[in-house]
Structure 1
Amino acid sequence: MTISAAVSAYWDAAAPRFDEEPDHGLRAGETRDAWARLLNSWLPSGPAAGPLDVLDVGCGTGSLSLLLAEAGHRVTGVDLSPRMVVHARAKLAAAGRAARFLVGDAARPPTGDDRYDVLLSRHLLWTLPDPHAALREWAALLRPGGTLVLVEGRWRESGEGGGTPYVPGAGALPWAGGVGAGDLTAALRPLVTDLRVEHLSADATLWGRAVADERYALIATVATTTTVATA
Protein backbone atom coordinates (compact mmCIF):
# COMPACT_ATOMS: atom_id res chain seq x y z
CA MET A 1 0.00 0.00 0.00
CA THR A 2 1.34 3.43 -0.95
CA ILE A 3 1.57 6.19 1.66
CA SER A 4 -1.25 8.03 -0.14
CA ALA A 5 -3.48 4.97 0.01
CA ALA A 6 -2.61 4.42 3.68
CA VAL A 7 -3.46 8.02 4.54
CA SER A 8 -6.76 7.79 2.66
CA ALA A 9 -7.62 4.55 4.45
CA TYR A 10 -6.77 6.07 7.83
CA TRP A 11 -9.09 9.03 7.36
CA ASP A 12 -11.79 6.86 5.80
CA ALA A 13 -11.77 4.82 9.00
CA ALA A 14 -11.84 7.99 11.12
CA ALA A 15 -14.70 9.62 9.20
CA PRO A 16 -17.71 8.08 11.02
CA ARG A 17 -16.54 9.38 14.41
CA PHE A 18 -14.60 12.43 13.27
CA ASP A 19 -17.27 14.92 14.31
CA GLU A 20 -17.29 13.64 17.89
CA GLU A 21 -14.28 15.89 18.55
CA PRO A 22 -15.71 19.28 19.62
CA ASP A 23 -13.58 21.29 17.20
CA HIS A 24 -14.30 18.90 14.31
CA GLY A 25 -18.07 18.58 14.48
CA LEU A 26 -18.73 22.04 15.96
CA ARG A 27 -21.88 20.61 17.52
CA ALA A 28 -21.79 22.88 20.57
CA GLY A 29 -23.27 26.25 19.77
CA GLU A 30 -20.54 28.26 21.49
CA THR A 31 -17.78 26.37 19.67
CA ARG A 32 -19.51 26.76 16.33
CA ASP A 33 -20.07 30.47 16.93
CA ALA A 34 -16.45 30.97 17.97
CA TRP A 35 -15.17 29.45 14.72
CA ALA A 36 -17.69 31.42 12.67
CA ARG A 37 -16.47 34.67 14.24
CA LEU A 38 -12.84 33.78 13.61
CA LEU A 39 -13.42 32.87 9.98
CA ASN A 40 -15.28 36.11 9.44
CA SER A 41 -12.40 38.09 10.96
CA TRP A 42 -9.80 36.38 8.77
CA LEU A 43 -11.55 36.76 5.42
CA PRO A 44 -11.55 39.94 3.33
CA SER A 45 -14.55 42.08 4.21
CA GLY A 46 -16.35 45.23 3.17
CA PRO A 47 -18.71 46.08 0.32
CA ALA A 48 -16.05 45.44 -2.33
CA ALA A 49 -15.34 41.93 -1.10
CA GLY A 50 -18.81 40.44 -1.59
CA PRO A 51 -19.14 36.65 -1.78
CA LEU A 52 -15.70 35.02 -2.03
CA ASP A 53 -14.46 31.93 -3.82
CA VAL A 54 -12.99 29.81 -1.00
CA LEU A 55 -10.99 26.59 -1.29
CA ASP A 56 -11.05 24.45 1.87
CA VAL A 57 -8.18 21.97 1.52
CA GLY A 58 -8.30 18.94 3.78
CA CYS A 59 -11.95 19.82 4.41
CA GLY A 60 -12.74 16.67 6.39
CA THR A 61 -16.45 16.41 7.12
CA GLY A 62 -17.06 19.97 5.97
CA SER A 63 -17.73 21.79 9.24
CA LEU A 64 -15.74 24.89 8.26
CA SER A 65 -17.03 24.66 4.70
CA LEU A 66 -20.55 24.85 6.10
CA LEU A 67 -19.74 27.98 8.11
CA LEU A 68 -18.29 29.59 5.00
CA ALA A 69 -21.31 28.65 2.89
CA GLU A 70 -23.64 30.02 5.56
CA ALA A 71 -21.72 33.30 5.37
CA GLY A 72 -22.60 33.48 1.68
CA HIS A 73 -19.31 32.38 0.13
CA ARG A 74 -18.81 29.98 -2.80
CA VAL A 75 -16.99 27.00 -1.31
CA THR A 76 -14.97 24.16 -2.82
CA GLY A 77 -13.74 21.47 -0.43
CA VAL A 78 -11.03 18.90 -1.19
CA ASP A 79 -10.14 15.83 0.84
CA LEU A 80 -8.17 12.66 0.12
CA SER A 81 -10.70 10.53 1.99
CA PRO A 82 -13.81 9.59 -0.02
CA ARG A 83 -15.75 8.92 3.18
CA MET A 84 -14.92 12.37 4.56
CA VAL A 85 -16.26 13.87 1.34
CA VAL A 86 -19.45 11.80 1.62
CA HIS A 87 -20.00 13.20 5.12
CA ALA A 88 -19.24 16.74 3.97
CA ARG A 89 -21.73 16.56 1.12
CA ALA A 90 -24.39 15.16 3.44
CA LYS A 91 -23.73 17.85 6.06
CA LEU A 92 -24.12 20.71 3.59
CA ALA A 93 -27.20 19.13 2.01
CA ALA A 94 -28.85 18.64 5.41
CA ALA A 95 -28.25 22.32 6.16
CA GLY A 96 -29.67 23.39 2.82
CA ARG A 97 -26.36 24.88 1.70
CA ALA A 98 -24.47 24.45 -1.55
CA ALA A 99 -20.78 23.65 -1.92
CA ARG A 100 -18.62 21.59 -4.25
CA PHE A 101 -16.63 18.73 -2.72
CA LEU A 102 -13.88 16.85 -4.53
CA VAL A 103 -11.90 13.74 -3.64
CA GLY A 104 -8.22 14.41 -4.19
CA ASP A 105 -4.83 15.25 -2.76
CA ALA A 106 -5.12 18.47 -0.76
CA ALA A 107 -1.46 19.18 -1.49
CA ARG A 108 -2.31 19.37 -5.21
CA PRO A 109 -6.04 20.08 -5.35
CA PRO A 110 -7.79 18.73 -8.47
CA THR A 111 -9.36 22.09 -9.28
CA GLY A 112 -7.92 22.67 -12.75
CA ASP A 113 -7.51 26.29 -13.75
CA ASP A 114 -9.82 27.63 -11.03
CA ARG A 115 -8.45 30.39 -8.83
CA TYR A 116 -9.66 31.50 -5.43
CA ASP A 117 -9.91 34.55 -3.20
CA VAL A 118 -9.20 32.52 -0.07
CA LEU A 119 -7.53 29.19 0.63
CA LEU A 120 -8.20 27.66 4.05
CA SER A 121 -6.38 24.73 5.63
CA ARG A 122 -6.82 23.46 9.17
CA HIS A 123 -4.62 20.87 10.87
CA LEU A 124 -3.38 19.40 7.58
CA LEU A 125 0.27 20.31 7.03
CA TRP A 126 1.60 17.74 9.50
CA THR A 127 0.14 14.94 7.33
CA LEU A 128 1.91 15.97 4.11
CA PRO A 129 5.13 14.41 2.78
CA ASP A 130 6.22 17.74 1.23
CA PRO A 131 4.53 20.65 3.03
CA HIS A 132 6.78 23.25 1.38
CA ALA A 133 5.63 22.15 -2.08
CA ALA A 134 2.02 22.27 -0.87
CA LEU A 135 2.45 25.85 0.31
CA ARG A 136 3.80 26.87 -3.09
CA GLU A 137 0.92 25.12 -4.81
CA TRP A 138 -1.66 26.78 -2.55
CA ALA A 139 -0.22 30.24 -3.06
CA ALA A 140 -0.40 29.72 -6.82
CA LEU A 141 -4.10 28.83 -6.56
CA LEU A 142 -4.93 32.26 -5.16
CA ARG A 143 -5.83 35.30 -7.19
CA PRO A 144 -3.57 38.35 -6.77
CA GLY A 145 -4.33 39.80 -3.36
CA GLY A 146 -5.79 36.48 -2.20
CA THR A 147 -5.78 35.37 1.41
CA LEU A 148 -4.16 32.23 2.79
CA VAL A 149 -5.52 31.04 6.15
CA LEU A 150 -3.61 28.23 7.88
CA VAL A 151 -4.83 26.95 11.25
CA GLU A 152 -1.99 24.87 12.64
CA GLY A 153 -0.13 23.87 15.77
CA ARG A 154 2.20 21.48 17.51
CA TRP A 155 0.24 18.43 18.70
CA ARG A 156 0.98 16.22 21.66
CA GLU A 157 1.11 13.18 19.37
CA SER A 158 1.30 12.62 15.64
CA GLY A 159 -2.32 11.45 15.75
CA GLU A 160 -3.30 15.11 16.28
CA GLY A 161 -4.48 14.89 19.83
CA GLY A 162 -3.94 11.23 20.64
CA GLY A 163 -5.98 8.15 19.86
CA THR A 164 -5.13 5.71 17.09
CA PRO A 165 -1.52 6.03 15.91
CA TYR A 166 -1.13 7.55 12.48
CA VAL A 167 -0.05 5.57 9.41
CA PRO A 168 3.25 3.64 9.48
CA GLY A 169 6.16 5.89 8.63
CA ALA A 170 4.44 9.04 9.82
CA GLY A 171 7.35 9.81 12.10
CA ALA A 172 9.45 10.53 9.01
CA LEU A 173 7.09 13.24 7.78
CA PRO A 174 8.83 16.66 7.78
CA TRP A 175 6.30 18.19 10.16
CA ALA A 176 5.14 15.09 12.02
CA GLY A 177 3.35 16.16 15.17
CA GLY A 178 2.64 19.62 13.78
CA VAL A 179 4.57 22.77 12.95
CA GLY A 180 5.30 25.73 15.18
CA ALA A 181 4.34 29.25 14.19
CA GLY A 182 7.96 30.30 13.76
CA ASP A 183 8.80 27.50 11.33
CA LEU A 184 5.62 27.98 9.30
CA THR A 185 6.18 31.74 9.12
CA ALA A 186 9.70 31.17 7.79
CA ALA A 187 8.44 28.71 5.17
CA LEU A 188 5.65 30.98 3.98
CA ARG A 189 7.38 34.36 4.09
CA PRO A 190 8.92 34.17 0.56
CA LEU A 191 5.48 33.49 -0.95
CA VAL A 192 3.49 36.36 0.57
CA THR A 193 3.57 40.11 1.04
CA ASP A 194 2.21 40.33 4.55
CA LEU A 195 1.55 37.86 7.29
CA ARG A 196 0.25 37.76 10.82
CA VAL A 197 -0.12 35.08 13.47
CA GLU A 198 -3.01 34.79 15.91
CA HIS A 199 -2.42 32.48 18.87
CA LEU A 200 -5.45 30.33 19.69
CA SER A 201 -4.38 27.99 22.50
CA ALA A 202 -5.85 30.12 25.28
CA ASP A 203 -9.40 30.06 23.89
CA ALA A 204 -10.86 26.81 25.23
CA THR A 205 -14.18 27.52 23.48
CA LEU A 206 -12.56 26.80 20.11
CA TRP A 207 -11.47 23.33 21.15
CA GLY A 208 -14.25 22.31 23.51
CA ARG A 209 -11.69 21.99 26.30
CA ALA A 210 -8.55 23.62 27.64
CA VAL A 211 -5.43 22.79 25.61
CA ALA A 212 -1.77 23.11 26.53
CA ASP A 213 -0.14 22.67 23.13
CA GLU A 214 0.60 25.36 20.55
CA ARG A 215 -2.35 26.28 18.31
CA TYR A 216 -2.51 29.32 16.08
CA ALA A 217 -3.73 30.76 12.80
CA LEU A 218 -1.46 32.26 10.20
CA ILE A 219 -3.16 34.72 7.84
CA ALA A 220 -1.24 35.93 4.80
CA THR A 221 -1.78 37.83 1.56
CA VAL A 222 -0.47 36.78 -1.84
CA ALA A 223 0.20 39.87 -3.96
CA THR A 224 0.99 38.33 -7.32
CA THR A 225 0.63 34.98 -9.04
CA THR A 226 3.13 32.52 -7.59
CA THR A 227 4.92 30.08 -9.88
CA VAL A 228 4.95 26.52 -8.58
CA ALA A 229 8.39 24.96 -8.55
CA THR A 230 8.60 21.78 -10.63
CA ALA A 231 11.70 20.36 -8.99
Structure 2
Amino acid sequence: MTNHSDGSTPARVDWDAEAAAFDEEPDHGLRDPDVRAAWADRLRDWLADRPGDLLDLGCGTGSLSLLAAERGHRVTGVDLSPAMVEQARTKLAGRDAVFLVGDAAAPPVGEERFDTVLVRHVLWTLPDPGRALRLWRDLLRPGGRLVLVEGVWGTVSPVGIPADRLTALLAPLAGHTRVERLSDDSRLWGRAVEDERYAVVATV
Protein backbone atom coordinates (compact mmCIF):
# COMPACT_ATOMS: atom_id res chain seq x y z
CA MET A 1 0.00 0.00 0.00
CA THR A 2 1.23 3.49 -0.81
CA ASN A 3 0.61 6.82 0.86
CA HIS A 4 -0.37 10.21 -0.45
CA SER A 5 2.22 12.95 -0.14
CA ASP A 6 0.08 14.52 2.59
CA GLY A 7 0.35 11.35 4.67
CA SER A 8 -3.14 10.02 3.95
CA THR A 9 -3.61 6.53 2.59
CA PRO A 10 -5.32 6.04 -0.79
CA ALA A 11 -7.49 3.10 -1.68
CA ARG A 12 -5.44 0.09 -2.69
CA VAL A 13 -5.23 -0.31 -6.45
CA ASP A 14 -5.01 -3.79 -7.92
CA TRP A 15 -2.65 -2.97 -10.77
CA ASP A 16 -2.76 -6.53 -12.09
CA ALA A 17 -6.51 -6.10 -12.55
CA GLU A 18 -5.96 -2.69 -14.14
CA ALA A 19 -3.32 -3.96 -16.57
CA ALA A 20 -5.70 -5.20 -19.28
CA ALA A 21 -7.31 -1.77 -19.74
CA PHE A 22 -4.32 0.37 -18.73
CA ASP A 23 -3.28 1.27 -22.27
CA GLU A 24 -6.75 2.57 -23.13
CA GLU A 25 -5.84 5.87 -21.42
CA PRO A 26 -4.31 8.09 -24.12
CA ASP A 27 -1.17 8.94 -22.12
CA HIS A 28 -0.68 5.32 -20.99
CA GLY A 29 -0.91 3.36 -24.21
CA LEU A 30 0.20 6.19 -26.54
CA ARG A 31 -1.92 4.59 -29.24
CA ASP A 32 -2.98 7.91 -30.74
CA PRO A 33 -0.20 9.03 -33.13
CA ASP A 34 -0.39 12.64 -31.93
CA VAL A 35 -0.09 11.65 -28.25
CA ARG A 36 2.76 9.28 -29.05
CA ALA A 37 4.58 11.95 -31.04
CA ALA A 38 4.14 14.46 -28.19
CA TRP A 39 5.78 12.12 -25.67
CA ALA A 40 8.51 11.21 -28.16
CA ASP A 41 9.28 14.91 -28.62
CA ARG A 42 9.54 15.43 -24.86
CA LEU A 43 11.80 12.40 -24.39
CA ARG A 44 14.04 13.71 -27.15
CA ASP A 45 14.59 16.81 -25.02
CA TRP A 46 14.83 15.04 -21.65
CA LEU A 47 17.16 12.15 -22.53
CA ALA A 48 20.80 12.36 -23.52
CA ASP A 49 21.50 12.43 -27.26
CA ARG A 50 23.86 9.47 -26.96
CA PRO A 51 22.10 6.18 -26.15
CA GLY A 52 22.77 4.88 -22.67
CA ASP A 53 21.40 2.72 -19.88
CA LEU A 54 17.94 3.86 -18.75
CA LEU A 55 15.99 2.71 -15.71
CA ASP A 56 12.21 3.19 -16.03
CA LEU A 57 10.66 2.92 -12.55
CA GLY A 58 6.94 2.25 -12.32
CA CYS A 59 7.18 1.42 -16.01
CA GLY A 60 3.62 0.11 -16.31
CA THR A 61 3.10 -1.51 -19.69
CA GLY A 62 6.31 -0.03 -21.06
CA SER A 63 5.06 2.73 -23.35
CA LEU A 64 7.77 5.23 -22.37
CA SER A 65 10.31 2.41 -22.26
CA LEU A 66 9.49 1.68 -25.89
CA LEU A 67 10.01 5.31 -26.92
CA ALA A 68 13.38 5.31 -25.15
CA ALA A 69 14.38 2.01 -26.76
CA GLU A 70 13.48 3.41 -30.17
CA ARG A 71 16.05 6.14 -29.49
CA GLY A 72 18.66 3.46 -28.86
CA HIS A 73 18.66 3.41 -25.07
CA ARG A 74 19.15 0.12 -23.22
CA VAL A 75 16.12 -0.11 -20.94
CA THR A 76 15.56 -1.74 -17.59
CA GLY A 77 11.95 -1.42 -16.44
CA VAL A 78 10.62 -2.07 -12.94
CA ASP A 79 6.99 -2.34 -11.86
CA LEU A 80 5.17 -3.89 -8.89
CA SER A 81 2.58 -5.53 -11.13
CA PRO A 82 3.54 -8.82 -12.80
CA ALA A 83 0.72 -8.30 -15.32
CA MET A 84 2.08 -4.86 -16.28
CA VAL A 85 5.60 -6.27 -16.57
CA GLU A 86 4.37 -9.07 -18.82
CA GLN A 87 2.73 -6.53 -21.14
CA ALA A 88 5.91 -4.46 -21.20
CA ARG A 89 7.97 -7.51 -22.11
CA THR A 90 5.59 -8.24 -24.97
CA LYS A 91 5.57 -4.63 -26.14
CA LEU A 92 9.38 -4.48 -26.26
CA ALA A 93 10.03 -8.00 -27.53
CA GLY A 94 13.20 -7.98 -29.62
CA ARG A 95 14.43 -4.71 -28.11
CA ASP A 96 17.43 -4.22 -25.82
CA ALA A 97 15.22 -4.19 -22.74
CA VAL A 98 14.62 -6.18 -19.57
CA PHE A 99 11.65 -5.85 -17.21
CA LEU A 100 11.63 -6.80 -13.53
CA VAL A 101 8.87 -7.13 -10.96
CA GLY A 102 9.79 -4.93 -8.03
CA ASP A 103 9.24 -1.79 -5.97
CA ALA A 104 10.24 1.56 -7.48
CA ALA A 105 11.33 2.66 -4.00
CA ALA A 106 13.77 -0.27 -3.82
CA PRO A 107 14.51 -1.39 -7.40
CA PRO A 108 15.93 -4.93 -7.69
CA VAL A 109 18.92 -3.88 -9.82
CA GLY A 110 21.78 -4.74 -7.49
CA GLU A 111 24.97 -2.81 -8.18
CA GLU A 112 23.95 -1.79 -11.70
CA ARG A 113 24.18 1.93 -12.46
CA PHE A 114 22.37 3.96 -15.12
CA ASP A 115 22.73 7.08 -17.23
CA THR A 116 19.06 8.01 -16.76
CA VAL A 117 16.41 7.20 -14.18
CA LEU A 118 12.93 7.91 -15.61
CA VAL A 119 9.93 7.96 -13.25
CA ARG A 120 6.39 8.99 -14.19
CA HIS A 121 3.58 9.49 -11.67
CA VAL A 122 5.22 7.39 -8.94
CA LEU A 123 7.04 9.67 -6.52
CA TRP A 124 3.88 11.22 -5.08
CA THR A 125 2.61 7.79 -4.00
CA LEU A 126 5.66 6.99 -1.87
CA PRO A 127 5.65 7.53 1.89
CA ASP A 128 9.13 9.14 1.86
CA PRO A 129 9.80 10.93 -1.46
CA GLY A 130 13.09 12.37 -0.21
CA ARG A 131 14.46 8.93 0.58
CA ALA A 132 13.40 7.63 -2.83
CA LEU A 133 15.12 10.53 -4.59
CA ARG A 134 18.36 9.89 -2.71
CA LEU A 135 18.24 6.22 -3.66
CA TRP A 136 17.50 7.03 -7.30
CA ARG A 137 20.38 9.52 -7.41
CA ASP A 138 22.70 6.82 -6.14
CA LEU A 139 21.63 4.58 -9.02
CA LEU A 140 23.02 7.12 -11.50
CA ARG A 141 26.49 7.30 -12.97
CA PRO A 142 28.29 10.66 -12.66
CA GLY A 143 26.58 13.17 -14.92
CA GLY A 144 23.42 11.06 -15.05
CA ARG A 145 19.88 12.43 -15.23
CA LEU A 146 16.76 12.07 -13.14
CA VAL A 147 13.66 12.60 -15.29
CA LEU A 148 10.58 12.92 -13.09
CA VAL A 149 7.06 13.43 -14.47
CA GLU A 150 4.67 14.40 -11.67
CA GLY A 151 1.74 16.65 -10.86
CA VAL A 152 -1.15 17.50 -8.57
CA TRP A 153 -4.53 16.07 -9.54
CA GLY A 154 -8.06 16.84 -8.39
CA THR A 155 -9.76 19.92 -6.97
CA VAL A 156 -11.82 18.76 -3.97
CA SER A 157 -9.11 16.55 -2.42
CA PRO A 158 -6.03 17.11 -4.58
CA VAL A 159 -3.28 14.49 -4.55
CA GLY A 160 0.23 14.67 -5.89
CA ILE A 161 3.44 16.55 -5.30
CA PRO A 162 3.78 20.22 -6.34
CA ALA A 163 6.74 21.21 -8.49
CA ASP A 164 8.14 23.58 -5.86
CA ARG A 165 8.21 20.81 -3.25
CA LEU A 166 9.93 18.41 -5.64
CA THR A 167 12.58 20.94 -6.64
CA ALA A 168 13.24 21.68 -2.96
CA LEU A 169 13.78 17.98 -2.30
CA LEU A 170 16.17 17.80 -5.27
CA ALA A 171 18.16 20.92 -4.36
CA PRO A 172 20.78 19.13 -2.21
CA LEU A 173 21.01 16.19 -4.62
CA ALA A 174 21.38 17.66 -8.10
CA GLY A 175 23.78 20.04 -9.76
CA HIS A 176 21.29 21.47 -12.25
CA THR A 177 17.50 21.21 -12.25
CA ARG A 178 14.92 22.47 -14.72
CA VAL A 179 11.13 22.34 -14.59
CA GLU A 180 8.97 21.93 -17.68
CA ARG A 181 5.27 22.70 -17.34
CA LEU A 182 3.14 20.12 -19.16
CA SER A 183 -0.43 21.13 -18.33
CA ASP A 184 -0.84 23.35 -21.37
CA ASP A 185 0.23 20.67 -23.87
CA SER A 186 -3.04 18.81 -24.48
CA ARG A 187 -1.32 16.51 -26.99
CA LEU A 188 0.43 14.73 -24.12
CA TRP A 189 -2.82 13.78 -22.42
CA GLY A 190 -5.18 13.38 -25.37
CA ARG A 191 -7.32 16.21 -23.96
CA ALA A 192 -7.10 19.59 -22.29
CA VAL A 193 -6.21 19.48 -18.57
CA GLU A 194 -6.33 22.17 -15.90
CA ASP A 195 -4.38 20.57 -13.05
CA GLU A 196 -0.65 20.90 -12.40
CA ARG A 197 1.43 18.57 -14.54
CA TYR A 198 5.14 19.00 -15.04
CA ALA A 199 8.49 17.31 -15.59
CA VAL A 200 11.70 17.90 -13.70
CA VAL A 201 15.03 17.04 -15.32
CA ALA A 202 17.89 17.01 -12.82
CA THR A 203 21.55 16.36 -13.62
CA VAL A 204 23.61 14.71 -10.89
**TM-score exceeds 0.5:** yes
Mapped contact 1:8–1:80 kept (Cα < 8 A) = no
Count residues with an aligned counterpart: 197
Determine which of 139, 151, 154 is the counterpart of 2:152: 154
Give distance in 1, aligned partners of 2:56 and 2:202. Answer: 15
Amino acid at match of 1:44: A
Q: Partner of 1:110 in structure 2?
A: 108
Q: What secondary structure does 1:35 align onto?
A: helix
Determine which of 15, 35, 42 is the counterpart of 2:19: 15
Give distance in 2, aligned partners of 1:106 and 1:68. Answer: 18
Tell me, yes or no, if structure 1 residue 199 matches structure 2 residue 181.
Answer: yes
Tell me the alpha carbon deviations over residues 161-180 of structure 1, each in whole angstroms, 9 at most, x when there is no partner: xxxxxxxxxx9xxxx81111
Tell me, yes or no, if structure 1 residue 221 matches structure 2 residue 200.
Answer: no
- 1:121-136 maps to which residues of 2 (within 5 A)? 121-136=119-134
Q: Partner of 2:7 in structure 1?
A: none
Mapped contact 1:57–1:119 kept (Cα < 8 A) = yes
Give distance in 2, aligned partners of 1:125 and 1:146. Answer: 19
Q: Partner of 2:95 in structure 1?
A: 97
Give unmatched runs, 5+ long, in structure 2: 3-9
- 1:30-179 maps to which residues of 2 (within 5 A)? 30-45=34-49, 50-93=50-93, 96-156=94-154, 177-179=159-161
Amino acid at match of 2:136: W
1:9 shift after superposition: 5.9
Amino acid at match of 1:77: G
Tell me, yes or no, if structure 1 residue 29 matches structure 2 residue 27.
Answer: no
Most deviating of 126-135 and 15-24: 126-135
Give distance in 2, aligned partners of 1:221 and 1:133. Answer: 18
Amino acid at match of 1:111: V
Q: What secondary structure does 1:191 align onto?
A: coil
Amino acid at match of 1:28: D
Mapped contact 1:8–1:81 kept (Cα < 8 A) = no
Amino acid at match of 1:79: D
1:220 shift after superposition: 0.5
1:98 shift after superposition: 3.1
Give distance in 1, aligned partners of 2:11 and 2:78. Answer: 14
User: Which structure: greater strand fraction?
Assistant: 2
Cα 1:151–1:65 shift into 2, 3 Å:
same
Give unmatched runs, 5+ long, in structure 1: 159-170, 223-231
Q: What secondary structure does 2:92 align onto?
A: helix
Give distance in 2, aligned partners of 1:83 and 1:137. Answer: 26
Runs (4+) of structure 1 exceeding 2 A deviation are 6-9
Q: Partner of 1:166 in structure 2?
A: none
Q: Partner of 1:164 in structure 2?
A: none
1:137 shift after superposition: 0.4
